[in-house]
């Protein structure tokens, strides 16, 4: 079997961005956006016509006061990502959203914040007319997420133990 790669099959290396909790990232470039989620939720949005997109990563469902409004909260993080998409010329009918995360570890007690994070995402996207093409939510396992903005594809890896060192090598300088 011939294992040579033709010109059409050459791999393209894309840059990668790690998305910390409380951040939103949008780009027109073929970038890989990564995140590690427990009870947090990330929403990926990709415009199939313009081939651009972004992702958010939020910790809490919603905030009610403007003084505390940051993308750490779902209602803010989702609104910011939608605003960035619309400012880039995207139309809600062309946007494909995917909701990922919202785990509730078996060892946890009390309010299931992961479930509330997912509910906020579903309600907010439906209200804005943005279709959800895929969900990987709930359960008790954390997730590692990779979103390829160039293709709109999302890979989700479920893990028993999340380790930040698996994902990010910080370079100090």
And the tokens for 2?
């011939």
110-138 mean pLDDT: 96
Bridge partner residues of 11 (DSSP): none
Mean model confidence pLDDT for the chain: 88
Neighbouring CB atoms inside 10 A of 13's CB total 7
Q: Using one digit for the tens of pLDDT, what is the confidence trace for 49-80?
A: 999 999 999 999 999 888 889 999 999 999 99
Higher-pLDDT residue of 15, 156:
156
101-130 mean pLDDT: 92
Supply angle C-alpha 33, 36, 42, rounded to 5. 65
pTM of the model as a whole: 0.85
Which domains does the chain possess?
15-162 (3.30.1330.200)
3-class DSSP assignment, residue 83:
helix
Alpha carbon distance 83, 157 (integer Å)? 29
Q: Is the pLDDT of residue 1 over 60?
A: no
């Amino acid at each position: 079997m011939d294992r040579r790669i033709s010109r059409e099959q050459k791999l393209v290396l894309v840059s990668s961005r790690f998305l910390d909790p409380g951040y939103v990232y949008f780009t027109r470039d073929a970038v890989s956006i990564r995140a590690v989620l427990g009870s947090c939720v990330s929403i990926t949005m990709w415009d199939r016509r313009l081939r651009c997109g972004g992702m958010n990563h939020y910790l809490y469902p919603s905030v009610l006061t403007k003084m505390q409004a940051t993308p750490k909260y779902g209602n803010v993080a989702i609104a910011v990502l939608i605003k960035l998409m619309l400012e880039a010329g995207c139309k809600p009918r062309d946007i494909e959203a995917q909701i990922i995360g919202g785990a509730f570890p078996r060892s946890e007690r009390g309010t299931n914040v992961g479930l509330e994070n997912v509910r906020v995402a579903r309600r907010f996207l439906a209200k804005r007319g943005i279709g959800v093409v895929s969900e990987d939510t709930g359960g008790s396992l954390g997730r590692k997420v990779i979103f390829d903005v160039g293709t709109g594809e999302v890979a989700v890896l479920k893990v028993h133990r999340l380790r930040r060192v698996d994902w990010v090598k910080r370079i100090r300088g």
